Amino acid sequence: MKKIIRHRECLGCGRKFIPVYSHTEYCPTCAGFAIRMAAKKLPSEVVKELWDYVHRHGYVCYYTHMELDMDDRHSPWYCVFDHWKPRDSSKIVITSSLLNEMKSNLLEEEFWYIIIALAEHRRRGTPFKKIKLACWPGHVMPEKNAVALGPQGSKAIKPIYKCSLCGKRILAYNAKYCPQCAKFVARLHSKNLPPETITATLDYVRKRGFICYYTDIKLVLDDPSSPWYYVLDHWIPQDPGKIVLTCDLFNVMKSDLTEKEFWYFIEAFADYKLKGKKVCRKKLSYFWRLFPVEDC
């Protein structure tokens, strides 16, 4: 009697697998991947390119070659689809849930510029140079109750006072802060933070000015659409005990990482890009996402 060969080559990844049914053409991982692409209604050319990629490289991150998790939907390494160019569906690549958040609305070249510049700043203190970002959406909206508490009316023009936060001259006898600092203070108060945290954050600004806690760059105060617009960042995710100042972009990139984890990945990604060094995974203390199960 002829022996039945039960192994089959998967149409997706090309690896050998044992099909449950005679007509199964994809291994379970690729079958799941196919369902996800169908649920996303990706154009057929994009689907073809993704299969080509998987066939050549397997399920590894397009940017860092890190192995991706295909089943654990809350893992930072869960395989997600990323618009290579923000909001442009003509090229979709696969990456990890974490890197997808860090890349946010950056072009690939911008992402690598920022990773390498941050790593250089961290290692050698090289000043971080801001660049113009092509697709930054400017999604930070000023809080509703962040109203200016600055000079009211135009009557009190004569005496010159100083803003008690930045030291800038102000022209109002009854104002404690300049209009910009007043907005900042209102924003800080709108966050329901403990009074000690508010005091510590104000002390930071008094000492250092509106400077990014992580990179020392000067923050933008008046343009919420700028990637360099200041935001209040929970130093430890969700912990109101310490709030630091950073810009919108770095806040997005830091995501739910601790500062230590953030710098670990910045340096590891930079080492991958510059030296081809393999990026090792790290257990993350707070990062947790749950992607829905796609059905189509």
Distance in Å, CB of 59 to Zn ion, minimum:
9
Residue 149's closest CA among 121, 123, 125, 184? 184
Distance in Å, CB of 211 to Zn ion, minimum:
14
- b/e for 263-276, b at 16 or more Cβ within 10 A? bbbbbbbbbbbeee
Distance in Å, CB of 35 to Zn ion, minimum:
13
Tell me whether residue 86 or residue 224 sits nearer to Zn ion (CB atom): 224
Distance in Å, CB of 68 to Zn ion, minimum:
13
Tell me whether residue 99 or residue 163 sits nearer to Zn ion (CB atom): 163
Tell me whether residue 12 or residue 151 sits nearer to Zn ion (CB atom): 12
Q: What is the CA radius of gyration of the chain?
A: 25
In DSSP notation, the chain reads -PPPP--EE-TTT--EE--SSTT--S-HHHHHHHHHHHHTT--HHHHHHHHHHHHHH-SB-TTT-PBPBSS-TTSTTBEEEEEEETTEEEEEEEEEHHHHHHHTT--HHHHHHHHHHHHHHHHH-PPPPP---SS----PPPPTT----S--SSS--SS-EE-TTT--EE--TT-SS-HHHHHHHHHHHTT---HHHHHHHHHHHHHH-SB-TTT-PBPBSS-TTSTTBEEEEESSTT-TT-EEEEEHHHHHHHTT--HHHHHHHHHHHHHHHHH-PPPPP---SS----PPPP--
Tell me whether residue 78 or residue 287 sits nearer to Zn ion (CB atom): 78
Distance in Å, CB of 10 to Zn ion, minimum:
3
- b/e for 246-260, b at 16 or more Cβ within 10 A? bbbbbbbbbbbbbee
Tell me whether residue 42 or residue 70 sits nearer to Zn ion (CB atom): 70
Tell me whether residue 59 or residue 291 sits nearer to Zn ion (CB atom): 59
Distance in Å, CB of 166 to Zn ion, minimum:
3
Distance in Å, CB of 200 to Zn ion, minimum:
18
Tell me whether residue 173 or residue 288 sits nearer to Zn ion (CB atom): 173
Tell me whether residue 10 or residue 252 sits nearer to Zn ion (CB atom): 10
**Interface residues with Zn ion (CB under 5 A)?**
10, 12-13, 27, 30, 163, 165-166, 168, 178, 181
Distance in Å, CB of 74 to Zn ion, minimum:
23
Q: Are 113 and 204 in contact (CB under 8 A)?
A: no
